[in-house]
A and B are shown apart, each in its own frame.
Chain A
């Protein structure tokens, strides 16, 4: 090191911190500033007219409400499907684990755009799903799947499933199955053991999967745009529409701020929930 006299100054701030400056500048310019700009555009001249418009118009409130509802349903279904899958991954042979992992990761690596595209083909009236249902004699007229909230939910669950399975799997594989065996030896039924012993231990995984799927759902754009109908819009489509079709930047920006706020609130609520779980868990361990 050449210049020793500079050292005392530098050593007060660990030298490594200088490495942070470029990335912080970059993130400030290309991430924080655009978000700040949105906030500014949404309140032109300090007026909250656009927020007023959103909060007083039944149309916008309906879209926000439906976004919430869709996200909630998608979250529940995704976690419900993901749980057995993650359980299987955590308790199976190496070969099965490999197969299940491949099935999980292939869609993960294929563009979401392309998967929405196949769902269009599968869900249309003359598509595979309707053909199969008809072949099985379950329906005689094709079901309306595409361009409905159901179609959107199917596409979204498909996209989000890996996001729910992976955090669940990391937790489930750590759980010692001997605990379950012990409870069944003590005479408890399988279901009782599952509910009282196994499930509580998986709560952190379930919470992580739920928060991830819910918050990602709130901002979905491509899947509802391709599989949904303009009548059941989600908030992201509304934002894109205001910017690209109506050229109403202020309103679009205000809706974007609302979406960020909803996402942050959801994160906050789930964080609280997780803290409550953690506390309960700690109490339980104390009393045990």
Chain B
């Protein structure tokens, strides 16, 4: 873009929002960064091309708490939000609209990815990523390395979110078999985390986790696959031996004025064509069973589905029941 055209672009776009003749504006809140850009390219843009009467306004970062606050205040500003495993369960009925399965086709989803209040957007993974330069050719082998700062020196990046898989990671590293994690022994997990507490740098958004690894601040981190991969040119590698599996979900806040349009959009976003297009930009698996075979080869070898043997599954039901209490304990522990 030449500099000369900037003022023109500025004037046009300043006027544009008021000229737009769209009848519905859908506001969608997602995780931001490269992930949301991929969603924008694979889901949002095709949707507005197909539905000229709908505009999509994007927001980020999404937040379960903010959604709840909006619903409580009766000022629902988001029509669709992206969330994690711990939200959108039947116990969250107070905050969410049920998915309208007369508009959304329930049969197309993989088992367990279409619930009363949420449908999966994609299947993700949190992996152990490390900066190869820091370890002189050595490669870690499993989550225990995260807690071994003698063999693997340097700071550790971790998600400041209790249900984000950190406690499960600590227990597995402490010797608990992956299939016997629940009910979680929270105190044991925190005791294990205490051993590296001073070495942990916390991240709250995906962008921060990426920055921590690629700037060399942390030598190792528990981060989302996509964030680990985008640091590949800075020497960031992934240890797939053990990883926690997660999904991203679409939810619709209770009281939105655009419920039907939102449901139509969700049906569109989860169609095979869109979900396959998404795998061009992101190393995540589809939730639509008809899209599974069409996944593009761009991230072959780094898709969660390529490493099923090391998968540690998060028990969302357990978290739904115990999440609030565990989170409180986690917050206290953080500040101790």
Verify whether A and B have any Cβ pair under 8 Å: yes
Report how far A156 CA is from B272 CA in the complex, Å. 50
- Minimum Cβ distance to chain A for residue B87 (Å): 13
- B320 at interface (Cβ–Cβ under 8 A)? no
Residue of A62, A126, A127, A246 near B335 (CB, 8 A) is A62
Chain A residue contacts of B160, Cβ below 8 A? 230
A144 within 8 A of B: yes
From B63, B69, B216, B334, A125 is in contact (CB under 8 Å) with B216
A160 within 8 A of partner (CB): no
Assess whether A27 is interfacial by the CB under 8 Å rule.
no
Residues of B contacting A230 with CB < 8 Å? Answer: 160, 202, 204, 334
Closest Cβ of chain A: how far from B131's Cβ, in Å? 11
B332 to nearest A CB, angstroms? 6
Give A246 to B331 CA distance when docked, in angstroms: 10
A-side interface residues, number (CB < 8 Å): 20
Find B63's partner among A63, A144, A229, A244 (CB 8 Å cutoff).
A244
User: Contact flags (1/0) for B121-164 with A, using CB distance below 8 Å?
Assistant: 00000000000000000000000000000000001000010000
B317: Cβ under 8 A from any A Cβ: no
* Other-chain contact of B215, A63, A125, A229 (Cβ < 8 Å): A125
- Which residues of A sit under 8 angstroms from B155, Cβ to Cβ? 144
Q: Are B65 and A246 in contact (CB under 8 A)?
A: yes
Residue A284 at the chain B interface, CB threshold 8 Å = no
Any A CB within 8 A of the CB of B217: yes
User: Is B217 within 8 A of A59, CB to CB?
Assistant: no
Contact with A along B43-62 (1 / 0, CB 8 A): 00000000000000000000
- Known contacts A59-B336, A231-B334, A233-B335; is-contact A245 B201 (Cβ 8 Å): no
Q: Is the CB of B65 within 8 A of A245?
A: yes
Tell me whether A229 and B336 are in contact (CB under 8 A): no
Q: How far is the CB of A152 from chain B (nearest CB, A)?
A: 14
Interface string of A231-263 (1 = CB under 8 A from B): 101000000000011110000000000000000
* A219 is an interface residue with CB less than 8 A from chain B: no
A interface residues (Cβ-Cβ under 8 A, vs B): 58-59, 62-63, 124-127, 142, 144, 146-147, 229-231, 233, 244-247
B residues with a Cβ closer than 8 A to A are 63, 65-66, 68-69, 72, 155, 160, 201-202, 204, 211, 215-217, 331-332, 334-336
